[in-house]
Structure 1
Amino acid sequence: MGDYAALQLDTRLRRLYPTRLPIMTRCPPGEVIVRVAYAGICHTDLAILQGDFQIDCDRLVLGHEISGIVSGVGKEVNWLRIGDKVAVNPNSKCERCAVCLHEEMGAPAEASVGVERDGGWAEFCLVPQSQLHLLPSDVPLKQGDAMIQQEAAHALGFGGHLLIFRSNSVKDRLCLSPFNIFTNEIKVTGSLINPYAFGKALTWASVLGHRYLDFNKLGVVSYPLKEYQEALETAKSDDAAKVVFEFDVSDVPTP
């Protein structure tokens, strides 16, 4: 049995260190082994490293913005084949509560990839099949991965609507004037929209294609995993719109 490269977080020391983990030889029935091609560095990852999120395990592989190639499937997975290109939706749904069953509402996540279970800052990642999306044939893996709130609040005019669909930290604060809220009839709405927006995003990726979703045009910078320290420094700065880890999957055949 071999091993694979991973970047693991010691949650007690809040320190990242490169390591080797044993290759998964058995895939749980409803899960899929993904060989990671691209894994983004999100501000949520940076917030976790800073201790702004509570992590309930001693060690964790971060990374929840993932695209890759299927390298193993559980016995209950019948819609994916080894070699398929996929993107990972880090958020899952319980599919039991009223919120999940209402198709137009967001849903609380269960065991988010890269936050509550190992993520994509590694050569391989184990993902529940419900959180995988098959990439359209014309969308490359590079595209499958890919406004500050306070400024948005200040920009609101009469009848404005502020939609908050993410926050990097539980410590984030937003300053709003009650006077402006009622005189300008401003609305503020929170939305866990991700579970229902992910599939639509893949459709748009197919439509926009190479003409718009090009790393150079978007200001996306990629690094190999071994250069993680430089990658994290770039992610913390304003030198790139987005930073991703890029893995070599050139030896993986696809259908």
Structure 2
Amino acid sequence: MPPTTMEAVQFSKKELKMSHIKTSVPATPVGDEVLIKVAYAGICGTDVHVAHGSFPCRDAPLILGHEFSGKVVGVGSNVKHLKPGDNVAVDPNNGCNNCDYCHGGRYHCCKVGGINNTVGLWRDGGWAQYCKVPSDQIHKLPNNITLEQAALTEPLSCVSHGWDLISPIAVGSRILIVGAGIIGNLWAAVLHLQGHRRVIVSEPLESRRNITKQLETGFEVITPEELRAKRTHDPEWGVDLVIDCSGYGPAIEESLSLINPGGKLCIFGVTSPETKISVSPYFLYKNEITITAVNINPFSFPKALGWIDAMGSRYLDYERLGIKTFTLNQYKEALDTLHKGSIAKAIFKID
């Protein structure tokens, strides 16, 4: 039986303040509910936007955390596919299962589901020792995937959805990744796994460029200034695909000008709702540019777990990816270290 109280990191939208708290463990699961003892819980860029008041979430005090793995400690009476002791990863998103979007396989567009009902944004999430989640949002891990690796399932499931949207990506394509945070690194790892070698990663922070080089993909890792110089030296230079992982409006706008005719722009990084970019419809027409935006991870958790199985420690080693773990009571240090750019990602390791 779990204890009656637990540690958590709670966010107050009214005060824009994080707090390390002691609170009650969620009630015993009933029906389709599952109680999870959290093992690892990531800090996402979206969480940082939430902390700054620039991304929507629940008005009432909220336990953040939508990227997490853990162990089942209790199940409701209707749950048949999980049992206490199972290692699991949690998909924070679902739909209403009634609207046309959900019935059409696009629950990420659901007006009450998707990003409008995310665990860790609208319901208490994984920045806690325990979290209660609907059973249909839980994926049992195969024995060869660790809880540490599984903490990356949610971001990789979003990458998997993006991959599906922009495929096919012919091997030999010239590809530009903008931004070398954890998402840029995961995209780099996936591209390398899939056989791509003509990849450039653009990142202004030297510390993050150095982390990307640790992946040993052989990709060219450069500054935005060095990227601009390529076009200056050769006005015809360009790329076939840009994957923006920065969420930075000016970088997205600039990258459009580097795309070869017939090329694609994948907007993956999440901007603040107020960010705008300017683009010439004539330029898009003349060059037949495709712009694709990626919204979360509809039905892509199994694909992400398949990637994790294939990637293993070669690509998903925390140190190589620039991931540092923190305890819940180190949340301030975790956010500060992430903000400085000396790491690519912070993850809570929860005892």
With the length of structure 2 as denominator, give the TM-score of the two structures.
0.66
User: Deviation of residue 212 (structure 1)?
Assistant: 1.8
User: Deviation of residue 153 (structure 1)?
Assistant: 3.2
Tell me, yes or no, if the aligned pair for 1:9 and 1:59 is still in contact at 8 Å: yes
User: Deviation of residue 22 (structure 1)?
Assistant: 1.2
Tell me, yes or no, if the aligned pair for 1:29 and 1:77 is still in contact at 8 Å: yes
Partner of residue 95, structure 2: 93
Partner of residue 59, structure 2: 57
Structure 1 position 68 matched with structure 2 position 73: no
Partner of residue 119, structure 2: 113
- Stretches of structure 1 that go unaligned for 5 or more consecutive residues are 249-255
SS at match of 1:36: strand
The structure in which a higher percent of residues are helix is 2
SS at match of 2:30: coil
Tell me, yes or no, if the aligned pair for 1:27 and 1:72 is still in contact at 8 Å: yes
Tell me, yes or no, if the aligned pair for 2:97 and 2:107 is still in contact at 8 Å: no
Show the 5 A alignment for 1:54-203.
54-103=56-105, 106-108=108-110, 109=114, 110-146=116-152, 147-148=245-246, 150=252, 152-165=255-268, 167-192=270-295, 194-203=297-306
Tell me, in whole angstroms, the C-alpha distance in 1 between the residues paired with 2:273 and 2:88.
Answer: 30
Q: Does the C-alpha gap of structure 1 residues 53 and 193 become closer, same or farther in structure 2, counting only changes over 3 Å?
A: closer
Tell me, yes or no, if the aligned pair for 1:40 and 1:243 is still in contact at 8 Å: yes
Structure 1 position 31 matched with structure 2 position 129: no
How many corresponding residue pairs?
248
Worse-matched range after superposition: 8-17 or 171-180: 171-180
Q: Does the C-alpha gap of structure 1 residues 226 and 193 become closer, same or farther in structure 2, counting only changes over 3 Å?
A: closer
- Specify the code of the residue in structure 1 equivalent to 2:13: T
Partner of residue 232, structure 1: 335
Tell me, in whole angstroms, the C-alpha distance in 1 between the residues paired with 2:255 and 2:7.
Answer: 40
Structure with bigger RCO (C-alpha 8 Å, 6+ apart)? 1
Q: What's the C-alpha RMSD, in Å, of the aligned pairs?
A: 1.9
Worse-matched range after superposition: 41-50 or 233-242: 233-242
With the length of structure 1 as denominator, give the TM-score of the two structures.
0.90
Tell me, yes or no, if the aligned pair for 1:40 and 1:63 is still in contact at 8 Å: yes
SS at match of 1:161: strand
Tell me, in whole angstroms, the C-alpha distance in 2 between the residues paired with 1:165 and 1:98.
Answer: 25
User: Identity percentage over the alignment?
Assistant: 38
Larger Rg: 2
- Stretches of structure 2 that go unaligned for 5 or more consecutive residues are 153-244
Structure 1 position 15 matched with structure 2 position 8: no
